[in-house]
Structure 1
Amino acid sequence: MIRTTPIISPASGLAQLTDRSREIFRQIVDSYLASGEPVGSRQLSRLLPMTLSPASVRNVMQDLEELGLIYAPHTSAGRLPTELGLRFFVDSMLQVGDLDDSERARIAAEVEAASKGHDFQGVLSEATSLLSGLTRVAGVVVATKENVRLKQIDFVRLEPERALAILVADDGTVENRVIPVARDLPASALTEAANYLNARITGRTLAEAREGIEASRRAAQMELDELTARLVEEGMASWAGASSGARQLIVRGQAHLLEDLTAAADLERVRLLFADLETKTGVIDLLERAEEGEGVRIFIGSENKLFSLSGSSLIAAPLRDSERRIIGALGVIGPTRLNYARIVPMVDYTAKVVARVVGGG
C-alpha cells in the first residue's frame, strides 16, 4: 500500500524540479504503474535516456524523497511514489492519450442501445459495466451530492498558473480540483482567500457560499457608489471606475476634508470598501473556478476517506444536462497504479455520451 502523504504537505520545491529530476521521477512512477514494484538506482540508471551513474541517481532520489514525492517501502529497497507524488504526476506530468475510432464507436453504440431499454439509473449502470470491461477495473456510479455542505477549503499552488482547491465536506469527504490562477498571483493571496472563505462557508454549499459573497459584494459596491457620489457632489473627490474598468478615487480639497470630519470619515469608508471589494472579487473568482473545476476528477488514496485504507484511486466524471446542471456521475475505481493516461479519456468520453443520450448534455 502507498504511504499516506497529506496533499497539503509543503510542496514549494515541486515547481523547481530540474529536467533530470523530473525524468527520474517519471521513470519511478512509470515503473510503479506498470508493475507495482519498487525501482532502485541501478535499474533506473539503465532506463534513463541520459547517462547517469547509480550514485548520481541515488542523490536525485534523495532529493525527491525529501520533497515527499517518493519513499522506500522498507530498508535497502527501491523507491515507490507517495500519494503526493502520484498527485503531482497526474496533475503536472501525465500525458493523457486519446481513444481510437473503434473504441468511441463501441462506447457510443452500447450507451445508445442501453438508453432504449432503461431509465437514467439503468443507463448509468450499463455504462459503468461497460467502463469496467474496457478498463479491467471496477466501474462505479458515484452518487451526486448536489447540496454537499462544506467544512473547509484550502488552495495549494502546484505550478505558476495552476493551483489545487481542496474541498473538505462536513461528512469528512475530500475533493481536489485543479484550477487556473494568474501567474503573478502571490502565494499570500491563496492563503487570504482560504481564510476568508473558511470564516463563511461552514455548512454551506459552494453555490450558496458564492451567492452570499456575491450579494455582499454587490451591497458593498452600492455603498461605495453612494459614498463616492456624495463626495463628488461636495467637490471633494472625482470618481473614475466603471467606465475605465479599474476603480480609482481621486481626492480633491484635502484641506476641506481636515475641517469636515464627516467627509473624512466618508473617505476612509471608501478606502475600506475598495479593499473589501478587491477581496470579495478575488475570492469569488477562486470559488467559481473551484466550483467548475476540470471535467474528470481523480481521487488518489487518502484524498478521499472512502479509499484511504484500501489505497485505491477513483476516476470519475460529472454528467451534465443541457443547462449544465449536474445530473449524476460515473467512473471507475481501482488500485492507485491505474493506467491514468488511458482511463481518463475513456471515462471522459463515456460521461459525455451518457449525458448527451439521457440529459441532452
Structure 2
Amino acid sequence: MRTMPHRPQDLIDNLDDRSRDIFKRIVESYLDAGEPLGSRNLSKLLPNSLSPASVRNVMSDLEQLGLIYSPHISAGRLPTEQGLRFFVDAFMESGTASEDERKLIERQLQGDIPDQATDALLTGASTMLSHISKGAGLVVAAKREEAMKHIEFVRLEETKALAVIVWESGEVENRVLELPRGVMTSQLAEAANFLNHHVRGQTLKEAKLQIDLRRDDVRKELDTLSADLVDRGLAIWAGDNKGAPSQLIVRGRSNLLENLDDAADVERVKLLLDDLERKEEIIHLLEMAETGSGVRIFIGSENRLFSLSGSSLVVAPYRDSNQKVIGALGVIGPTRLNYARIVPMVDYTAQLISKMIERQ
C-alpha cells in the first residue's frame, strides 16, 4: 500500500488532473448530500468521457492513498478524515463572507440594541452561528483575569504559611502553603516583597510568565529558599478558576439530531452532546484558538475534545481592546459541514464580536 505524503503539496504532486477531479467530485458530493458516489454516476459527471472501469481504477488509487473509502462492499466512495483535511487544505477556496452574509450577521448580532451587554451579545452570536450553519453554534467566554494588588505570606506553623492575595477589585483570597523545613519568617517577607515589587498589577498568568523570564534575576536577588517561595506562592493558585473559561454557550443542539441516517449517527451525536457537557475540557477550545491568528478547522479525530464523536469544529478567537484573546466562537457539526461557506462567516463573526466588545 502506498503511504500518504504528509504535506498537501506533496500529495497534489502525486495526483494527475483526472485523479484530482475525481477526488474533488467525491468530496463535493459528500459535503452536498452525504452520500457515497459510485463509479457509474461519477463517469457521467466527468467532462471527459471515462468508463466506470477506469473511474474505479482511479478510485482504487485514491483509496490506497487513504483519501477515500467504501462504506459497503458494493457502495460508492466517501472521503476519509484524511481526505477531508487534504481537500480543505489543498482545494477549498475560502474567501471572505459575502456582503449579504455580512449584513445578515450584523443584523442578527446588533439588532435594535447595538450596545447590548456582553452576555446577550455572545448568546446572540451562538444562536446566529447555529442558524447559518445548521449545526450547533458555540461560544466560550473566558472569565476576566484580575490583577493582583498585594501578596503576603503569614506563617502558621513550622511547615505551613497562609498565602494571601488581595486583588485589584478588593477581594481577598487565602491559600495554605506548604513550606520546606528551615524557612525563616524573614524569608517569607523577602519573597512577598519581591513579588509585590515585580508583579503587582499583573494577572497570575502574566506574573508567572514574568517570573519565568526573570529567572536569573530571581536567583541573584534571593536565596534558594526565598526563590522557591516565590514559585510556590504563584503555583498555589495554579488551576484556580481566575482567568479560566467560566461560560459555555451552545445553541442549536437540535440541529445535530436532524437527518440522522442510522444508529451509528445517533450514537455519534450522543457522544458529541456528552462532550459538550464536559466543561472541564472547554479550556482546550481557547488553547486551540490562541495557537492561530484566525479560523482553525478541526476534522474528526484531529480535535481532542470531540474526537470520539467524529465531529468537526470551525473555531476562531475573539479579542478585547488590547488584542488579547478572551474567548472563542465557532460551529460544531458533522464532518460534512459546508466549510467554504462557514469558515469566512465564523471569521467575520469573531471580528465583529471583537469590535463590539472593544466599544463597550
With normalisation by structure 2, the TM-score equals: 0.54
User: 1:118-267, aligned counterparts within 5 Å?
Assistant: 118-142=116-140
| C-alpha deviation, 1:66, in angstroms | 1.0
Q: Which residue of 2 aligns with 1:353?
A: 352
Q: Which residue of 1 aligns with 2:327?
A: 328
Structure 1 Cα separation of the partners of residues 70 and 142 of structure 2: 37
Which of 15, 19, 38 is residue 12 of structure 2 equivalent to? 15
Structure 1 Cα separation of the partners of residues 91 and 109 of structure 2: 32
- Residue-pair matches, total: 221
Q: Which residue of 1 aligns with 2:336?
A: 337
| C-alpha deviation, 1:129, in angstroms | 0.4
| C-alpha deviation, 1:14, in angstroms | 1.2
Which of 30, 39, 44 is residue 28 of structure 2 equivalent to? 30
Q: Structure 1 pair 75/138, CA: closer, same or farther in 2 (3 Å)?
A: same
> CA contact under 8 A between 1:142 and 1:316: conserved in structure 2?
no
The amino acid across from 2:302 in the alignment is E
Q: Which residue of 2 aligns with 1:105?
A: 103
| C-alpha deviation, 1:106, in angstroms | 2.7
> CA contact under 8 A between 1:115 and 1:358: conserved in structure 2?
no
> CA contact under 8 A between 1:96 and 1:344: conserved in structure 2?
yes
Structure 2 Cα separation of the partners of residues 101 and 294 of structure 1: 23
Q: Structure 1 pair 133/60, CA: closer, same or farther in 2 (3 Å)?
A: same
Q: Which residue of 2 aligns with 1:250?
A: none
> CA contact under 8 A between 2:4 and 2:11: conserved in structure 1?
no
Q: Percent sequence identity over matched residues?
A: 57
Q: Structure 1 pair 360/52, CA: closer, same or farther in 2 (3 Å)?
A: farther
| C-alpha deviation, 1:107, in angstroms | 1.5
With normalisation by structure 1, the TM-score equals: 0.54
| C-alpha deviation, 1:332, in angstroms | 0.9
> CA contact under 8 A between 2:290 and 2:325: conserved in structure 1?
no
Q: Secondary structure at 1:22's aligned position in 2?
A: helix
Q: Structure 1 pair 144/15, CA: closer, same or farther in 2 (3 Å)?
A: farther
* Unpaired runs of at least 5, structure 2: 146-204, 217-288
Which of 70, 75, 78 is residue 77 of structure 1 equivalent to? 75
Q: Structure 1 pair 212/90, CA: closer, same or farther in 2 (3 Å)?
A: farther
| C-alpha deviation, 1:291, in angstroms | 6.6
| C-alpha deviation, 1:76, in angstroms | 1.8
Q: Secondary structure at 2:305's aligned position in 1?
A: helix
> CA contact under 8 A between 2:312 and 2:337: conserved in structure 1?
yes
Q: Which residue of 2 aligns with 1:306?
A: 305
> CA contact under 8 A between 1:115 and 1:357: conserved in structure 2?
no
Which of 39, 56, 59 is residue 58 of structure 1 equivalent to? 56
Structure 2 Cα separation of the partners of residues 119 and 346 of structure 1: 22
| C-alpha deviation, 1:143, in angstroms | 5.4
| C-alpha deviation, 1:324, in angstroms | 2.3
For residues 340-360 of structure 1, give each alpha carbon's deviation from its aligned partner in whole angstroms, at most 9, with x where no partner exists: 111111111111111111135
Q: Which residue of 2 aligns with 1:266?
A: none
| C-alpha deviation, 1:52, in angstroms | 1.6
> CA contact under 8 A between 2:290 and 2:317: conserved in structure 1?
no
Cα root mean square deviation, aligned: 3.3
> CA contact under 8 A between 1:87 and 1:300: conserved in structure 2?
yes
Q: Structure 1 pair 74/144, CA: closer, same or farther in 2 (3 Å)?
A: farther
> CA contact under 8 A between 2:71 and 2:77: conserved in structure 1?
yes
Q: Secondary structure at 1:328's aligned position in 2?
A: strand
